[in-house]
Structure 1
Amino acid sequence: MISPRRAPLIALLLAASTLAGCGSAAPPEEPPLSEEALAAVSKNPGAPIKAVAREVDDLFTLPDLGETRALLVMHAGEIAAERYAPGYDANTRHISWSMAKSVTAVMIGMLVADGRLRLDESAPVPRWQRPGDARGEITLRQLLQMRSGLEHSEATEPLYESAEVRMLFLDGRDNMADYATAQPLEAEPGAKFEYSSNTTVILADIAARALTDSASPDARRKAVADYLQARLFEPLGMTSVVPEFDRAGTLIGGSLIHATARDWAKFGEFLRHKGSHKGTQLVPRSWIEKMVEPSPRATQYGFQIWLNRPLPEGEEGPLIPDRAPHSMFSLSGHMGQYVMVSPAQKLTVVRLGHSDRPQRRAMLGQLADVLELYPAE
């Protein structure tokens, strides 16, 4: 029999125990990490090993993100994590799609530094130089910032009527620059942002003309390929790169450059170091700074590269400004190709794969989970 004096004390203890059980239930344990998940992370990834392994693993295993084929995280210049889907490895070349645009922008920067091109003069496109042609007012800067004013439609429905699809695969495919430069103006040069793969082909054609006077497709192809190899790919150790050219010898500089995940990471690190590699300045530091400066017509875009900047309320940007530093920028390609560079976090993150439009937002959220493991300095 319980003593009357002890009954209130026992009741109080029982109530406290019940409340504690209700209010401090242990969180459910996360499933154990597989050997594959742990093996993807280096010994010193710059963040907790298990946290990095889990976030990387989620990119390969969570539903509704699409197919991640390669993921490489570099922190402070060292590989922090690297993983590939079955059928892919460190030697697999991946298509760039629009990530190629940033490579083309760097090539243009080198030609400007060489004195072969002028940023704020009329773009040297022969058909635009005829008297009375208003397209002669388009500058190289406006082409780089996607505000040429040329008539264009990107990724519209039906796809076969999209200007870039027609240029790449239909009536413009044999001479893409001829197709792209033939388009009329739909706006005053400089007044309107219009994302355009065709514009980058115009830039690639301008580069070829700056490097050779020959109209021979073979000569044009060789001039651009040799220039990129000697001035960019070889110094960076990007040994896997395969650029594609059309029948006229023009680099398909807005869409078709192939390289391994490691080589894409090398290019990202080169940008993170503002054009410097192992103490050698391959392109002026000021050019990389121009590349990541917001366009006057699109704060989320620079010189052929996407910026992690917030947009007006109600507009959804292509990156993650609410979850990563606004100084981050990214090469971005069709179906979810990314080389994200965050100087404030000393990070370069490469994600290559296949995610359709509905999957991409969720996949970007998972990439943000990886980025958030590394605090900005």
Structure 2
Amino acid sequence: MYRDFFEMVGQAGISLHGAEVFHNGEIVLKRSFDGDIAHPIYSATKSVTAAAVLMAAGEGKLSVKDKLYYYMDSKYLSVMPDGFRQLSFTDCMTMCAAPYPFRPQNAAEQTESGRKDDWLYSIFRLDTDYSDRRFHYSNIPAYLVSAACENAVGQSLADWLRPRLFEPLGWGSPIYQLSPEGHFYGATGMYLTVSQLARLGQLFLQKGEFMGAQLIRRDLAEAAVTRHVFSQDGEGYGWFFWVRDNTFDISGKWGQRCVANPKTGLMVTYLSDNHDRSGELADIARRFVASAE
């Protein structure tokens, strides 16, 4: 059955950089078509940011219910909207913060007083309806969460994550993106191999445990991949994870994805560059993961 994913992808004529199948605690099949090199994972980076927040919460550096403004640099207090002060980590991690533009770097273009060299300042200057707390997918909530988490732990988020996440998962020193202010972007900008992304999925599939170590508190890891809200299209969403009835996804645009079924312990991870067929590829992965039920 483990070859079924590759057969379904091949029959559909979709190309992959590589893929890995994990079941019942072990890698059961892996194929690489490009030497297993690192590729951009785009919005799958958001799940790394979720891990950072949960680890910080587990160490008592913050609570997921805390308001983000507690952890923002004081220099922004004079321009920080009242509506923003009501937003918590969970509001942002469920994309129920505000109808923000998609990219933080675009915020400067949408307000007369924006600054291209300061994403946070430009975000706070946006004319945003903070009363609209429906699901609005954007990179801005993940960036806000990342900046707040970085201040909560008191150091560069990548440096803080290195001994807590990067090294335990065998990532070495992955490529990542910083904002002009120097914060970990948190929404996109990371490069990982198939195996590296799969280990992040394994961490959450195993409720925060990896190689015998509880890296994330169990209750927080479970909550992250639990459906908290629905998008306008009816898709479920957790804390920077897409969630269906029996699966959760770590997802980047154009086909970088990890699809896991906690009930059966089956997970498939793949990297690709399919601008037009990433949705079809995701459906194949979900059907494959559901086949073990």
Task: Decide whether the 8 Å contact of 1:129 with 1:136 is kept in 2.
Answer: no
Structure 2 unaligned spans of 5+: none
Pairs within 5 Å for 1:350-361: 350-357=269-276, 359-361=277-279
TM-score, scaled to structure 2: 0.85
2:89 corresponding residue in structure 1: 140
Q: Flag the 1:54–1:342 CA change in 2: closer, same or farther, 3 A.
A: closer
In the TM superposition, residue 237 of structure 1 has moved relative to its aligned partner by 2.1
The reply to whether residue 198 of structure 1 matches residue 131 of structure 2 is: no
SS of aligned partner of 2:226: coil
Letter in 2 for 1:293: T
Summarize the Cα distance change of 1:246–1:132 in structure 2 as closer, same or farther, 3 Å threshold. Answer: closer
Alignment of 1:330-341 (within 5 A): 330-341=249-260
Alignment partner, residue 120 of structure 1: 65
Alpha-carbon distance in structure 2 between the residues aligned to 1:123 and 1:108: 12
> Once the two structures are superposed, what CA deviation does each residue of 1:59-90 show, in whole Å capped at 9, x if it has no partner?
25633x4x3111111111222221223xx112
Residue 265 of structure 2: aligned partner = 346
- The alignment partner of 1:344 has SS state of coil
The answer (yes or no) to whether the contact 1:204–1:252 under 8 Å persists in 2 is yes
**Match in the other structure for 2:202:** 269
Tell me the equivalent position of 2:285.
367
CA gap 1:165/1:366 in 2 versus in 1, 3 angstroms:
farther
8 Å contact kept, 1:305–1:331? yes
CA contact (8 A) 1:307 1:328 kept: yes
User: Contact 1:128–1:136 (CA<8 Å) still a contact in 2?
Assistant: no
Which of the two has higher C-alpha Rg?
A: 1
Q: CA RMSD in A?
A: 2.7
| Partner residue of 2:54 out of 103, 109, 114 | 109
Residue 362 of structure 1, CA deviation? 2.5
What is the aligned partner in structure 2 of residue 180 from structure 1? 123
Residue 350 of structure 1 aligns to a residue in which SS?
A: strand
C-alpha distance after superposition, 1:115-159 (max 9, x if no partner): 22232232123435779723211122211111112x3233xxxxx
8 Å Cα contact 1:60/1:68 also seen in 2: no
Q: Does 1:260 align with 2:193?
A: yes
Q: Does 1 or 2 have the higher relative contact order (CA < 8 Å, sep 6+)?
A: 2
Over 3 Å counting, the alpha-carbon distance change for 1:56 and 1:172 in structure 2 is farther
Q: What's the counterpart of residue 34 of structure 1?
A: none
Structure-1 separation of matches of 2:260 and 2:3: 20
* Alpha-carbon distance change, 182 to 288 in structure 1, aligned in 2, over 3 angstroms: farther
Task: Give the aligned partner of residue 106 of structure 2.
Answer: 166
